[in-house]
Amino acid sequence: MATADTARVDSWIWAVRLIKTRSLATAACRAGHVRINGERVKAAQSVHVGDEIRLRESGFDKIVVVGAILTKRVSAPVAAASYTDLTPPPPPREEVALAPMRDRGAGRPTKRERRDLEKLRGRDTHDPRDDGQGE
pLDDT at 42: 94
| 116 found inside a domain | no
Q: What is the pLDDT of residue 22?
A: 93
Q: Report pLDDT digits (tens) over 52-110.
A: 999 998 888 999 999 999 989 999 999 999 999 999 888 787 766 665 677 888 888 88
Q: What's the number of domains the chain is made of?
A: 1
Task: Report if residue 63 sits inside a domain.
Answer: yes
Q: Which domain holds residue 60?
A: 7-85
**Contact assessment for residue 25 and residue 11, using Cβ atoms and an 8 Å cutoff:** yes
Closest C-alpha to 17, from 56, 88, 73: 73
pLDDT at 5 over 60: yes
Residue 130 has pLDDT above 70, yes or no: no
Average pLDDT over residues 36-60: 92
State pTM to two decimals.
Answer: 0.66
Stretch 17-38: mean pLDDT: 94
Instruction: Classify residue 128: in a domain, yes or no.
Output: no
Mean pLDDT of 99-127: 79
Would you say residue 3 has pLDDT above 80?
no
Q: Is residue 81 assigned to a domain?
A: yes
* Average pLDDT score over the chain: 85
Beta-sheet strands, E only, within the chain: 7-8, 34-36, 39-40, 46-47, 52-57, 60-66, 83-85
- Say which CATH number the domain at 28 has: 3.10.290.10
Q: Is residue 47, in this structure, part of any structural domain at all?
A: yes
